[in-house]
Structure 1
Amino acid sequence: MLKSKVGYSSLDDAKAAGKEAALMAKGSESETKLAYVYCSCAFDVKEVLHGVAEVLPTCSLVGNTSFTGVVTPGGYIGGDTPFVGIMTVGSEEMSVGTAIVEASDCAYSAGVKLAHDAMSAAGKDVAPKYFYMVASPKEEEDYLKGISSVIGRIPFFGGSAADNSIAGEWSLYEGETVISDGCAVAFVYDAPDMDNKFSDAYKETDDYGVITKVEGKRVLMEIDGKPACEKYMEWTGCSKEDVSGGNLLVTTITSPLGVKDRLGDLTAIRHPMNGNEDGSMNIGNNLAEKTCIIRMEATIDELISSVETTLQELLDGLDHKPSALHLVHCGGRRAGIGDRIGEVADIVAKVAGDIPYIMEFTFGEYGFVSDENNTCGGLMLSFTAL
């Protein structure tokens, strides 16, 4: 049976905060195999990890900085206060292999290396039961392709590292290794089942078009042959100022774009991040020409209520009570929710009850649908039952 504990701290000293959170999350050594660690980008992250490692010296560790805070059974921890949140999991039988790689010229090749390194760290030469991934918000899909080329379509979950102001101050880490650009994984073997609910939690509108031009993988140039910003203004009636520069990111929190998977089971949100002078949009995930893109909608009230709906759907789909909940919530959604984040914390506490849980806020979310089709998106919820 999987065991899990959660710890958290808002002490000012980075190492002391890591130690305090780790002491709360510490279980027996034989049943504490993996620690998911999330902290503030305002901290010296290496000092946080030094503190955690002093308390959990034999436990594998992986995680990242989280946008503005975390949600734990202690409520929302963060805001203007630096924070650390930790969830440990493990069982007598479970084994874990973690690995990290810095960004290189080829994210696919880096993903291949990650998979081999994680298997080696676990003392295995076979695919894991499932895996966790964290990356910098840039080449997530390519890391995933490389990993999958080695282990196949194994279910995964996780999210991209985040900072508090989209200034590139994020970190991701494995053990006590800290990087700002790259990817880390935790391969999990011989563990109880996991299940994931990956949801966009937006409503489709009747505004949709064909992506007719993409530059690179993440610059949306044209929809239906028109500049992307122009098409978006036509759909929404918003102003040019609304879609200019970083204003576009805020404008589209309640009305982003989405692409359906090949079976229509999932709409993966594509969050416009920046409006460019030529009318193009920088997008938070990869796009493909000659595919359909849809304008989505949700009010702030719906962004909040979708946390309850999604978490309850995850729990209702299980045949037994889970041992832990790992909850990935988009940082963009959290920014839109603003001062009402306490309502989200109250919802999670109500639905989760006495199940240990941690919620991080990311700049990209990862999950899978029923046919084990792993997907990366933005403005998403990826809720995992362990």
Structure 2
Amino acid sequence: MEEKLLTRRDFMRKTFQYAGAAALAGSLAGLEGANPSPALAGGGEVVAAGAGYSTDPDPWKAGREAAAMAKAKIKKPILALAFADPPHKDFDKVLAGVTSVLGSQVPLIGQTTGYAGGYSICPAGCIPKSIAVLLLESPYLKVGIGLGTGIKASPREAARKATLAALKDLNYNPWKDLQKVAPGPALAKHAPYTVMMMDDGYAGVVDYEIYGIQDVMGWAPLVGGCAGDDGSLGKAFVFFRGKAYNDAIVITIFSGPVKMGYGCGIAYKPVAGKCGVVTAGDGFREIYEIDGKPALEVWFEWTGSPREEILARESGAMFPYNQWHPIGVQEHIYPQWIWIKDPFRFIREKNGLGVGGIVPVGTTVHLLEVTTDSVIEDNLRSLRYALDYEGIKKVAAMVGFNCVERLTILQTEEGKVAENFNRIMELLGNPPVVGNAGAWGEQMFAPSGNIGAQNMTLCSLLIGDELLG
């Protein structure tokens, strides 16, 4: 496992060399996707939220400015989330800037963003080289946070410890308030706990971390994303109580009689006639054969991607061709849901594929395809699902984890980043929003109930400004 993780880290550093001039120009454009009328505060009756951002190059000043903007209408925050770009580098200073506004008693969590300058999702849109902060305030929403270290060596145990710590920090019996809610569909669907996870995108094995969470929680709605890098750090960081950690996972548990919503924008569709069974692999993240043929050759045959150009790369990077044609595994009882397995690198000595996410031998995989329009439309579909999950009519806040390769797809057509953000805000009523626009993997549960690691998706948590019942 250690050898595979090292290969993945090397790959993620080098992949950015192939991002291309157009993507770099998008990074330097400053405010691509900017919303001219950002929502800095929202909700208030049940959950109040405030969001802020900064592009000041000084890490302490940027943290302070983003936090001050978020706190303008928030009196007693119960949780602070911060997303920070790699160019700010000194994340302890960023967090010190946030703490200078909030004080040290407010729980402060977050992560680094990924890709060409580090894009955050913030009230102004999808912004590179930025710090974004969200504050939540509510007498009804309860929050606990926990940290687990050493995810490279022991992902399951680190996640289990972080979840236990978050549950202890929560120190709340949800049934005390839920028993006051009138019986009905809303109460039947509401889970007493919602789990949000953030991990180091370089070090972790998300599938095993999820097992560790479930060792403690059993089944609970889960949403999350992996911290990223733009290739300049060689590390990714998560934030916990005002300090930055790598090789770590942060767990946040939400509870209380507040309406919640969960969405996963997939967008990729199976290509008719292009599927097969994995007949050889390591049972982990390497596929050697599909239908008895070398997996890499099958992928080239399916996609028509430039074989010589890709194989000339010493790093094994498949970007950008993998983002247009990944492979995926369909849910048997809910085939609209696809677990995307990003073929981010080729394995020269095996003529195989290195993928994001575990793919056992015997798995049926499908070639997938996508367009910029399908990304936008499926983001909206997923958020309608999130609104309907518990019948949210008024959104207090949104937290989003958007795959880096979803961002690079939208950047291939002028104006699509802005269109995507603005249509999401219009659908949700323009609530305060923060997130990682360049996540290195996402986590979500399918309508079937299965929980797992996703690639190339937008995973969203909606917090309603409404009580159940």
Tell me the TM-score normalized by structure 1. 0.91
Q: In structure 2, the residue corresponding to 1:252 is in which secondary structure?
A: helix
CA contact (8 A) 1:254 1:300 kept: no
Q: For residues 242 and 185 of structure 1, do their structure 2 counterparts lie closer, same or farther at Cα, with a shift above 3 Å needed? A: farther
Aligned to 1:113: 161
More deviation, 124-133/89-98 = 124-133
- 1:287 is paired with a residue whose SS is coil
Give the secondary-structure state (helix, strand or coil) at the position aligned to 1:64.
Answer: strand
Identity %: 25
CA radius of gyration, larger in? 2
Over the aligned positions, Cα root-mean-square deviation in angstroms equals 2.2
Select 1:152's aligned residue among 205, 218, 231: 218
Check the 8 A contact 1:246/1:274 in 2, yes or no.
Answer: yes
Structure 2 spans left out of the alignment, 5+ residues: 1-45, 175-190, 464-469
2:54 counterpart residue number: 9
Distance in 2 between residues matched to 1:59 and 1:33, nearest whole Å:
6
Query: What does the per-residue CA deviation read over 1:132-179, in whole Å, with 9 as the maximum and x for residues that have no partner?
Result: 101123311111101111111110111011112386332111112322
Who is 1:123 aligned against?
A: 171
Write the distance in 2 (CA, Å) between the matches of 1:148 and 1:348: 31
- Aligned equivalent of 2:179: none
Taking the TM superposition and a 5 Å limit, the aligned residue runs for 1:47-66 are 47-57=93-103, 58-66=105-113
Shift of 1:73: 2.5
Deviation at 1:193, TM superposition (A): 2.3
The alpha carbon displacement at 1:63 in A equals 1.2
Q: Distance in 2 between matches of 1:54 and 1:350?
A: 33
Match of 1:347 among 405, 416, 423: 423
Q: What residue number does 1:193 align with? A: 259
> Is 1:40 equivalent to 2:85 in the alignment?
yes
Q: How far did residue 65 of structure 1 move?
A: 0.8
Tell me the secondary structure at the aligned position of residue 121 of structure 1. Answer: helix
Q: 1:24 aligns with which of 69, 72, 95?
A: 69
1:306 and 1:189, CA in 2 relative to 1: closer, same or farther beyond 3 A?
A: closer
Match of 1:335 in 2: 408
Greater CA deviation, 145-154 or 205-214? 205-214
1:71 aligns with 2:121: yes
1:253 aligns with 2:253: no
Out of 174, 188, 210, which is 2:240 matched to? 174
Task: For 2:407, give the aligned amino acid.
Answer: R
Q: Which residue of 2 aligns with 1:382?
A: 459
Query: How far off its partner does 1:124 sit?
Result: 4.8
Match of 1:373 among 450, 457, 460: 450
Provide the secondary structure at the position in 1 that maps to 2:211. Answer: helix
For the 8 Å contact 2:81–2:133, the answer to whether it is kept is yes
Q: Provide the C-alpha distance between the structure 2 equivalents of 1:343 and 1:285, rounded to a whole number of angstroms.
A: 30
How far the C-alpha of 1:313 sits from its partner, in A, is: 4.4
What code does the residue aligned with 1:122 have? L
Give, in whole Å, the separation in 2 of the partners of 1:259 and 1:100.
31
Residues 168-210 of structure 1 deviation map (CA, whole Å, 9 limit, x = unaligned): 3321111123222221111112251211112321111121111
Q: Deviations over 1:282-314 (max 9, x none)?
A: 112111111111111012343344333433443
Structure 2 equivalent of residue 326 of structure 1: 399
Contact 1:91 1:191 (C-alpha < 8 Å) held by counterparts: no
Q: Aligned-pair distance for 1:347?
A: 2.6
C-alpha separation between the residues in 1 aligned to 2:279 and 2:158?
A: 30
**Deviating more after overlay: 348-357 vs 217-226:** 348-357
Opposite residue 102 of structure 1, the aligned amino acid is: T
Where does 1:240-319 land on structure 2 (aligned, <5 Å)?
A: 240-241=307-308, 243-244=310-311, 245-265=315-335, 266-278=337-349, 279-315=351-387, 318-319=391-392
Residue number in structure 1 paired with 2:440: 363
One-letter identity of the residue aligned with 2:405:
G
Counterpart AA for 2:450: N
Give the 3 Å change call, closer, same or farther, for CA 83–218 of structure 1 in structure 2.
Answer: same
Instruction: Report the TM-score, using the length of structure 2 for normalisation.
Output: 0.76
Q: Deviations over 1:51-88 (max 9, x none)?
A: 1122222321221111221232322321xxx2101122
